[in-house]
Chains A and B, each alone.
Chain A
């Protein structure tokens, strides 16, 4: 059997917020279970390789637009998704895989259209802080999502996709929902990296990529459980503080 191929997409453009860690988490969790895995950091000066699982991260404005243009002309990501590849896209990456996104100058750019999401620039302050969301929708059998958001975008999820969760603390998409998913494509505003803080989401994506219906063998995520409990406690304090100050 060919090894599972995990591709971190353009880390030099979409690697500003440590999201390359998502690829590391996926590759390690697969290999710890004895699954032959290859982790590839794919830079934008080469054709995007064929893969089973693609990770896109957050990035600054100019690199975000550049990455969107290169991915569109490269074509591999769209073809792979059509063939069943799994995508996890965070922040700027999430905006890129939507239909359109708006840059800091107010210019709209076409996205890759892999998720039915449109992102505009928010008029208010940048959303920076802990983000907590409750997963919603059938097929997303995972616990509370925990992450750290840092973005100025407001995203609207269309009928072709569904929100990943309902926001408990933070901003997320800006309308009370957070992220989006459709088929095997997931977008989120959670850094952390998101899969380090949410190992159940990592295993869900791995299960999709491996084509297995039964849950993967547990890995003893004790310290992840402690980290999650700590961050959820910290976020709830943050929320009560914020409500008081308004």
Chain B
């Protein structure tokens, strides 16, 4: 008879299976990477879990673990937290950053379900801390399996309309999973759904990290009444914003993390955007809960200039394209803020595969009006849905279905023709204005598969 999973040492047979499973994960993932079939983060993990369903629990046993979840900012916050804790990067890598630094293992490529976690952990040194990005739907399972020391909860908003993952349901599942958990929950106090989810935990550190997209937060999770956003937020039933221990604040010289104990730490990053500064503060607070001072963590984060290809400038079709990824209206609103100040051409890429959500109706929740007056090119498999949306936003644009051609077109290179769709500028789709001034610096914003197709080539 084998011992119940998670209690005492596994039986010899179970132990043999676990060993075999770990070796299978390593061999398959190395093979996948060697043959350039992928980044080697899922296939091996799946096989390993099939051989030994208890593999993830076993790999996490005895490890100090932090979990990061939320609709937007998971990959970035996970990376920033890993960096703050003294880690290198790369899927499944275990590096020691310097004398006295801690070894950290993390799923850096955004493979955020158990197969990805197993893949990252299979190569980890026994004592290394684990910092894991977790898909919102899998957080309850990971909380039970990993017994984390810290859980970071970022935000919850609509994502992938064709699935029935109502965000309120997710918040309720998180709340049940965290009820009675000894983990320190670092949570965004400005998101009522996140506060509801964290509410059951024994220890919460509230961070006023901001919430730009509020349409999914107006229903009170406690009483189904109405949340009002005024001086924080609150409902008539008494459910209201908790007093934050840390706030992300604008000071004259930039953004600071203002601690209730009086510390005011500057948040200076190389990756752009106010929301990334908020992610950095959440990561710094989480790092502090794990023994690294927030000031030290924030300083370490200054080395990060790209997150799994995002925010990095790539040379594509002769242009210098900064690649940005947005998956849902909240993310798009943030990225449109980022590209706002520059006057560079913008390429917007939209697909609607399963990983994107098959219904792109959410395009109508995105404030594309912000792109008026810019040179804009619509691309991707659903460029026509986007084009209709842009028409009603009164944003002049070209349509070029192939993303590389679209980038060349936005950069103003002549002789770029896409025979698949030949519609050009003018809100009424009137005439082609012909060649435009060359501007080799281009912003590309894509949703999930549109971004990854471009990055993968």
Q: Contact check, A223 vs B391: say whether CB atoms are below 8 A apart.
A: yes
Asked whether A150 and B384 contact (CB < 8 A) given A44-B226, A223-B423, the answer is: no
**Nearest residue in A to B221 (C-beta to C-beta)?**
A62
Q: Which of A17, A25, A220, A224 gathers most chain B CB within 10 Å? A: A17
B400-420 at interface with A (beta carbon < 8 Å): none
Asked whether A12 and B215 contact (CB < 8 A) given A18-B161, A126-B164, A196-B389, the answer is: yes
Interface string of B213-249 (1 = CB under 8 A from A): 0010011000010101000000000000000000000
Q: Contact check, A24 vs B359: say whether CB atoms are below 8 A apart.
A: no
A181-221 at interface with B (beta carbon < 8 Å): 191-193, 196-197, 219-220
**Nearest residue in A to B216 (C-beta to C-beta)?**
A16
Q: How far is the CA of A196 from the CA of B389 in the complex (A)?
A: 8
Q: How far is the CA of A28 from the CA of B393 in the complex (A)?
A: 9
Q: What residues of chain B lie closer than 8 Å to A230, measured between beta carbons?
A: 384
Q: How many B residues have CB within 8 A of the partner chain?
A: 33
Q: How far is the CA of A63 from the CA of B166 in the complex (A)?
A: 11
**Nearest residue in B to A11 (C-beta to C-beta)?**
B215
Q: Contact check, A128 vs B226: say whether CB atoms are below 8 A apart.
A: no
Chain A interface bracket (under 10, 10 to 19, 20 to 34, 35 or more): 35 or more
Q: How far is the CA of A31 from the CA of B370 in the complex (A)?
A: 20
| B428 CB-CB contact with A under 8 Å | yes
Q: What residues of chain A lie closer than 8 Å to B168, measured between beta carbons?
A: 60, 62
Interface string of A144-170 (1 = CB under 8 A from B): 000010100000000000000000000
**Nearest residue in A to B429 (C-beta to C-beta)?**
A222
**Nearest residue in B to A223 (C-beta to C-beta)?**
B387
| B421 CB-CB contact with A under 8 Å | yes
Interface string of A48-86 (1 = CB under 8 A from B): 000000000000111100100000000000000000000
Interface string of A1-24 (1 = CB under 8 A from B): 000000000011101111111001
Q: What residues of chain A lie closer than 8 Å to B392, measured between beta carbons?
A: 21, 24-25, 28, 196
Interface residues of B (CB under 8 A from A): 158, 161-162, 164, 166, 168, 215, 218-219, 224, 226, 228, 358-359, 361-365, 384-385, 387-389, 391-392, 394, 399, 421, 423, 428-430
Could you list some 11 contacts between A and B, CB below 8 A? A16-B161, A17-B359, A19-B361, A25-B392, A45-B228, A128-B162, A150-B164, A193-B361, A193-B364, A222-B429, A227-B387
- Additional A-B contacts beyond A19-B364, A21-B363, A45-B226 (8; CB < 8 A): A25-B392, A150-B161, A150-B164, A219-B428, A223-B387, A223-B388, A224-B388, A227-B388
